[in-house]
Chains A and B, each alone.
Chain A
Amino acid sequence: MESISTPRISSQLIDSYVGQNVMVVGKVQQLRGDTAVIDADGQITANLNRDAHLVNGNAAQIIGKVLPDLSIKAMSSVDLGNNVDFKVAQAVVDATHQCRDLFVFDADKGGMMMG
């Protein structure tokens, strides 16, 4: 049990998460070498790990750290196929930030919460 969250964000929110681990669900717009451009309510650049198998035009889920230049250094990238409803993905991002209590352990609280 670990109180660690990777909040779901979109490109509109990325600048408040520099240095933190986040999750992005969006559409792969470009693949160039180890770099992907993901559309998640705006463009986000992700530096992929070598074993990534993303597909242009498909949805992808990227988990990684937001770097100071607002790109993401991916720790995990998963191809989600072509049947992902991005409006629902955006609704989840909105819910995450409207109801932070349900979704996000804030880093400054830290530590394990034992029951």
Chain B
Amino acid sequence: MISCNNISKKYKKVQALSDISFEVKPGEIFGLIGPDGAGKTTLFRILTTLILADEGVAAVNGLDVVKDYKLIRERVGYMPGRFSLYQDLSVEENLNFFATVFNTTVEENYALVRDIYQQIEPFKTRKAGKLSGGMKQKLALSCALIHKPTVLFLDEPTTGVDPVSRKEFWGMLKKLQQQGITILVSTPYMDEASLCDRIALIQKGRLLTIDSPGKIADSFKKTLLSVSSENMSMLLTDLRAIPEVESCYAFGDSHHITLKNRTSEYKQEHSDSRRKMADDITVIINNLKVNLEAKNHINVIIKEIKPGIEDCFMELSKNNM
């Protein structure tokens, strides 16, 4: 539905995108996940035919982003990161305007936006500029959908939005997906990765990996431990001072650490004896516990855990410095 082949883009001295290639399948929710400045918006602008890439080719709906830009614009919906509706038109006027521009009517495609638009309909005479952030977001999504696009581009729709409203927004996306719309969505929140079918992690204009969230987590090569004690600040310093500890990051109520010389290759070597492997990790955890208790930590809890997308991002981004 979307294909990108070796796309690069430079702004003066800044390399915004380097050699980006990926595909989004029909009906997929595909997440582009990375921090500000990673190149997400540049990529969106290229795919929505607003700017040209320096190198590479891209197609949306089988149409070339350069040659067929007019046709693409008719078929896709785009919600930019910054609120871009007409502030001095009312809610209703904005929706009508976008329908008219695309040669359709609100009535014709109302079914598609009904669930979302109904939530702001009580305020339909209010000027868009006077809406709260959450309502602006819903109006922008309605306007991006009113011409029944086949592909929806959402650039950071949940940035600065509280966790409850974010969950609601993702609920709306799932419903749109069920109606057959393909969705490319970007976000700086790593926890939203699990809500996508597939994701690409992006940093400094490069893709770090592309796969389903589950497979990316499975490809994490190292043993990951979560460690907590009564004094988390001191624990961070003490863990980093231990020679066997390779990386140590705070993760909410625990710290996540990886150990040197413990990769999946190591796991494979010992796969003949899973028992030994389990014993082995128990020994490591016990030693670590003894070590920390000797440094006056109390209530030390250490567990082997499965990595999340944020663990994977930090591990992969090390190689992209």
Please indicate whether A and B come from the same complex rather than being unrelated chains: no
